[in-house]
Structure 1
Amino acid sequence: MEGSYQYGGWVLVGLGIYMVLMLLVGWYASKKVQGTEDYLVAGRRLGLFLCTGTLFATWFGSGTCMGGAGNAYIFGNQGVIFDPWGAALCLFLAGFFFARLMRRGRYLTLVDLFQLRYGNGMGILSAISLTVAEMGWVGAQLVGFGTIIHFFSGLPLGWGIAISTLILVVYTYLGGMWSVTLTDVFQMIILTVGMIVMLVVAVPLAGGWGEIFSSHTSNMMELPTWSFLPEKGDAGFLYYTGYVGWFYWLAAWMAIGLGSIPAQDLMQRTLSAKDEKVASYSSYLAGLLYVTVGMMPVVIGLIYFKLNPNLGPEDALNKILLFMATDHLNPFFAVVFVSALVAALMSSSDSAILAASSMVGYNAYKILKPDVTTEQTLKATRIAVPIVTGISLILALYFEAIYNLMVISWSVLLVSLFAPYVAAYFWKGANRLGALASYVAGFVAWIVGYYAYLPMTLEANKVSPDCLPPETFASVATTVEGVGQVYFDWAMWDALYISSVWALIASVVALVVVSLLTRSMDPPMPLVDIDGEPMPVRNWMGIFGKA
C-alpha cells in the first residue's frame, strides 16, 4: 500500500538531501558556463572517465531499472531485449561506426548534421522528431520519479511527477552540459552501488545463482526465462509466432539498438569528448558497464517473481524494485537503494531535457533568425528547458508507462531518421529529396502498419475475468467492439513495435529510390563540418581508427 512503509519518512528525507546536493552541483556548474559551447557540449573537454560516466548514466534510466525489472518479472529475458540488450548494442555500434565522425564534425547538435547535409527542411524535420523523442524519454523518467514519491509518501502520482519536474528544471537550467556531466558521474557511482547492494541481498533469497539460471519459467507469462530468440511452438516471441514473431524480435533489438543512434543525448556526449579517441572508447566502456549493471534489475525482477508471483501487471511493470527495497532491505540500505533509483532516472532526465532544449533554443532559433548571437542562443536554450520539461510532464501524466514510453520514443527516430543519418556519412549519393522521402515514408508506413496489425494484437491481448483478481481486471481491461475485454495498452504497443520493421524498410527504400531518381535535379550536398569545410570519411572504425 502506497505511503504505508514504516520508514518512508527516512527515505523521503534521504531523497530530499540528495536533491539538494544535485541543485548545488547545478549551481556550481553554472559558474563554468561562458557561452553556448560550454552549455551544450561542456567546452568539448570531457576526458575518458567523465565521458564514459555521462554516457552510461544517461542510458541507464528508470526504463532500465524499474521497467526492466517489471518486464523481466512478466516476460523473462524476452521482455528486456529492448533494454538493456538493445541499448547496449546501440552504444557498441555508435562507438564503432559513428563516434569518431560525429566528433570530427564538431557540431553542437545532431540537427547541425542533417541541416548541413540535407538542407533546412530536413533540419527542421529532424529537430521535430528528435525533440519529440527526447520529451518522451523524459516523460518515462518522470513517471519513474513520480512513482517513487507516490510509493513512499502516498501523494498522488501526478504530484510526485510534478515535484520531480521542478527539481530537474532548476539544475539543468543552471549548468547545462557541465551540470549534467558532473551529476551523471556522481549518479553512476550511486546507482551501481545501490544495484550491487540489492543483488547481494536478493540472490540468496532465490536459492543462489544456480537456481536463477536453471529455472525454466520464472516469469508471469511462463516463457522460457533466458530465451534470446523466438521459441518454437506457441511461445514464439512474447507469444507472437511466424514472421510476426520474428518481426517483433527484430523490432525489440532495433528500437533502441538502432533508433537511439541518431539521438541527441547520445551524440551530445560524443561531441563533448575532448577528441575522437575518447568519443569512441567511452562508447565501448559505457556499453560494457551497461550490460553488466543493466542486467542486475533484470535478475532482481526474476527473483521477485519467485518470492511473490501474484502481482498484477500494473504493479509489476513499475514497482518491483520498490517492493524489493521495502520488503528485504534494512532502512539504511533502503534509502541508499531508492537514492540509486532516483540517480538513474535523474541522470537520464537531465540529459534528455538538455538535448531537446538545445535543438529548440539553438537550431530552431538559428533557422528562424540566422544572424542570432551566441548570447541569444544560450538564453533561448535556457528558456527552452522549462518549456520542454513541461511538455514532457504532460506526456508522463497521460501515459504513466515507463518502459513502453521509453522504447516508443526511440522507435520514432528509428522510422524517421536512422536511414538518412547513416547515409549522411556513408553514401555520397543521398540527397535532400531522398532524405525527405525517407522521413515521410517511414512515418506513413509506421501508421499504416499500426492499423493493419492492431486487430491481430487486440485478439492476442484478450483478457478473461477468470484469469485475474477483480480489482486487477478492472484496472487493465478495455472493452473493444467485436473483440471483447482487451488489455488495450499491450495491444497498442505491440502493433507499434511490429510495424516499425516495415517502417524502417520503407524509409531505406524511399531514400535510395528517390535519391537515384532525382540526383540530376537535386545534386547531393557534400558532408561538411560545422565550419562548412569538407569532412573526410576515413579512420572511422572505432578502436581501429587513428587518434
Structure 2
Amino acid sequence: MTVNVPGIIGIVIFYLLVLAVGIWAGRKSIKSTNTDELFLANRNLGMILSSLTIAATGIGAAYINGTAEEMAREGFLWVQAPFGYMTGIAIAAIVYARKLRRMGYVTIFDPIQEKVGSRMGGLLFFPELLGELFWEAAILVALGTSLSVILDMDSTIAIIISACVAVVYTFFGGLYSVAYTDVIQLGCIVLGLVLSIPFAWANDAVDVSRIRDDWVGHIPANKVGVYIDTYCMLIGGGIPWQSYYQRALACQTPSIAMWSSLIGVVITVLMAIPPTIVGVIGASTDWNATSYDGEIPIPPEKLVFILPMVLQYLCPLAVSVIGIGAVSAAGMSSTDSIILATGSVFSKNIYKNIFRPQATEREIIWVLRISILVCGIIGTVIAITVNSVYGLFTLCADLMYVILFPQLTCVLWVNFANTYGSLSGFLLGLSLRVLGGEKLLKLPPVIKFPFFDEQLGQLFPFKSFAMICSYIGIIGVSFVTDRMFRNGYVPQKYDIFGCIERSKTKKRNTPNDTKTEDNEKTMPLDVYNDADH
C-alpha cells in the first residue's frame, strides 16, 4: 500500500486549521462558568452565522456519501434523505423552533419534562441518544472509508483522528467553537465538491450516455407504500433532532431562529446537487479505463465508496486532496454538533433535572464536557467495531419518527397531554415498530401487516401506522385520565404521576407564549433569556 503523502499533508493542515479556529472561537468559553455560553453561545447567534451552522450540521459525510451512493445505485427518485430531512427541518423552523425559542427553552426536552415529568422525559431521551450516537458512528464510518480510499491510510486511524479533533474543540469551546468551525467546514465542502465535478466529468472514462435511461430511477408498484413511508419517516424524523434545535435556540430572536433555519435548509438542499452529480459520474464511468483495480462492475455493496472513488481515480491529485478536505469537513461539521447536543441534554435534562437538582453551574459545565468526551468515545468505538451501523441508525431514525415526533408535538400543542398518555404512546409506538421487524438488523417480523411479502418484507407503511398509533395513545389516554382526575371520577390522591398538580404549577409559572415579536423585548430576561440584542 502506497501512502498518499500530499493528501496526508493536506488533511493535517486542514485539521490543524479547524482545531485552531475552534479553540480561538471558544476561547471565552474555556474558563466560563455560564452554562448558557457553552450550551447556546449566550443566545447570540445572528442570521448569517446561524444559517451557516444549521446548514453545516445537516451536510455530514453520511449525507454526501449517501446521496452519491443512492444516485449511483437506484437513481434520482431514491435520493430521498436530503429532501425528506430538509422538509422536516423547514417544518420544524416554521412550526416548532419559533415557539421553543420564544419560550426560552434550552433543549427540546425542557418542555417535555415540564409537561410529563423529569423521569418520563428521561425515558424519551433514549431514542434521541441512540439516534445521535449512531448518526455520529455512521458519519465517522463514511469519513473513515473515504479517507482510506483516497489517502491509502487505515480507516480506523482516520476515524480516531477525526473524532479526536472534533471532540477537543467542542470540549473546550461549546457552541461558539462548533458554530465558527462549521463556517470553515461549510466553505471547504462547497469548494471541494464543486471544484471536483468539472475534472471528473471531463475524464475520458466518463460517458453519461451509459445511464441515459436509468438516472431517474424507478419505483415498482409494490414498493409505493415503502417509498411513501420512508419519505414520511424522513420528514417526521427530521423534526425532533436536538442537534438542529441547539442552533435555533441559540439565535438572538425567534424570527432569526425561523428564517436562518429556512436559509440553512435551502443551502443544504443545494449542497445535495454536487454529490448527486458525483453519483451520476460514478455510475456512468468505464472503470476499466481508470487505474481502479477492484471488481468490475462495482458490486452494490461497494457503491458506498463511489464518491471517494470518483475523487481518487477521476480527478487530478491536487483536486483530489481538496476533495479530501470536503469529505473531512462534512464529517466533523456534523460530528461536533452531535456530541454537543447529546452532552447538553444529558447534563441539563438527565443529570441536573433528575439526579442533582442542586448542581451548580460549574458542576453542570464539567458534566457537559465529560459527556462530550464520552459521546465522542462511544461513537468512535461503534464506528470501528459495529458493521451494521447503517441499520442501527435507520432503526433509531424510525424511533425518532415513531416516538419522539408525536411526543414533542403533543407536549407543545395538546393542553391535556400528560404522563399517562406519554407512557402509553411510547409503549404502543415502540411495540408496533419493533414487532414489525427490521430486515437490516435481521429482526424477524412478529406482526405481518397487509401486503407482507416473504422476500421483500413489510410493504405496508407500518412505520407511519405505528407513529399514528403513538399519537392516538398519547391523546386518547391523556384525555381520559385528565377527565377522570379533574372531574373527580378518580380521587387525585391516585394520580401517581402528579399530572394535575404539575399542570397547575405550569399554568402559574409559564408565561403567555402568544406574545408578538414586537413586544418580546418587554418580557423579563429570565423568561426569554436574552431574546433580543
Matched with 1:281 is 259
The AA in structure 1 aligned to 2:49 is L
In the TM superposition, what is the alpha-carbon distance from 1:206 to its structure 2 partner?
9.6
TM-score between both structures, scaled by the size of structure 2: 0.83
Structure 1: distance between partners of 2:145 and 2:205: 30
Q: Deviations over 1:55-113 (max 9, x none)?
A: 000011112111111111111123321x1111120221112111210111212222112
Identical-pair percentage: 25
Larger Rg: 2
| Aligned with residue 349 of structure 2, among 343, 352, 363 | 363
Partner of 1:491: none
Q: How does 1:6-405 map to 2 (within 5 A)?
A: 8-33=4-29, 34=32, 35-81=34-80, 83-204=81-202, 215-218=212-215, 224-225=216-217, 231=219, 235-236=220-221, 241=222, 245-308=223-286, 310-317=297-304, 319-366=305-352, 367-400=354-387, 404=391
CA contact (8 A) 1:55 1:266 kept: yes
The answer (yes or no) to whether the contact 2:453–2:459 under 8 Å persists in 1 is no
Distance 1:89 1:379 in 2: 36
Give the Cα separation in 2 of the matches to 1:188 and 1:524: 48
Is the contact made by 1:360 and 1:381 (CA closer than 8 Å) also made in structure 2? yes
Amino acid aligned to 1:533: T
Q: Kindly state the Cα deviation for residue 386 of structure 1 after the two structures are TM-superposed.
A: 1.5
* Deviation per residue, 1:150-184 (Å, 9 max, x gap): 22444443333223222222121111111100011
Greater mean deviation of Cα atoms: 105-114 or 404-413: 404-413
Secondary structure (helix, strand or coil) at the match of 2:105 reads coil
Counterpart AA for 1:287 = V
CA positional deviation for 1:199:
2.7
Structure 1 stretch displaced more, 109-118 or 50-59: 109-118
Once the two structures are superposed, residues 463-483 of structure 1 have per-residue CA deviations (whole angstroms, 9 ceiling, x without a partner) of: xxxxxxxxxxxxxxxxxxxxx
Q: Distance in 2 between matches of 1:178 and 1:153?
A: 31
Distance in 2 (alpha carbons) for counterparts of 1:145 and 1:193: 17
Instruction: Count residues with an aligned counterpart.
Output: 483
Distance change (3 Å), C-alpha of 1:90 and 1:80: same
**Structure 1 length-normalised TM:** 0.81
Residue 449 (structure 1) shift: 0.9
Flag the 1:145–1:527 CA change in 2: closer, same or farther, 3 A.
Answer: farther
CA contact (8 A) 1:30 1:179 kept: yes
Provide the rounded CA distance (Å) in 1 between the counterparts of 2:92 and 2:283: 35
Superposed displacement of residue 439, structure 1: 1.5
Say which SS state the counterpart of residue 417 (structure 1) adopts.
helix
Change in Cα spacing, 1:118 to 1:284, as seen in structure 2 (3 Å) is: same
**Kept after mapping to 1: 8 A contact 2:149/2:309:** no
| Structure 1 residue 361, shift from structure 2 partner | 2.0
CA positional deviation for 1:529: 9.2
CA offset digits 1:231-277 (Å, max 9, x no partner): 4xxx23xxxx1xxx233223321333211211110111111111111
Q: CA RMSD in A?
A: 3.0
Pairing 1:536–2:513 present: yes
Supply the AA of the counterpart residue of 2:84.
Answer: G
Q: In structure 1, what is the Cα distance between the partners aligned to 2:43 and 2:152?
A: 43
Shift of 1:501: 2.2
**Maintained 8 Å contact 2:206/2:285:** no
Q: Is 2:410 the partner of 1:423?
A: yes
Give the match's secondary structure for 1:106: coil
Give the Cα–Cα distance (whole angstroms) in 2 for the partners of residues 207 and 527 of structure 1: 70
**In 2: Cα distance, 1:376 partner to 1:514 partner:** 38
Are 1:444 and 2:431 an aligned pair? yes
Letter in 1 for 2:228: L
Task: Report the residue type matching 2:445 in the other structure.
Answer: A
CA gap of 1:209–1:146, structure 2 versus 1, over 3 A, is closer
Q: 1:460 maps to what in 2?
A: 455
How far is the alpha carbon of 1:398 from its aligned partner? 3.8
| 1:258-298 alpha-carbon deviations (Å, 9 max, x no partner) | 11211110111111111111100011111111211112212
Q: Which ranges of structure 2 fall in alignment gaps of 5 or more residues?
A: 287-295, 438-443, 486-498, 518-531
Determine if contact 2:150/2:311 at 8 Å carries over to the other structure: no
Give the 3-state SS of the residue equivalent to 1:272 in structure 2: coil
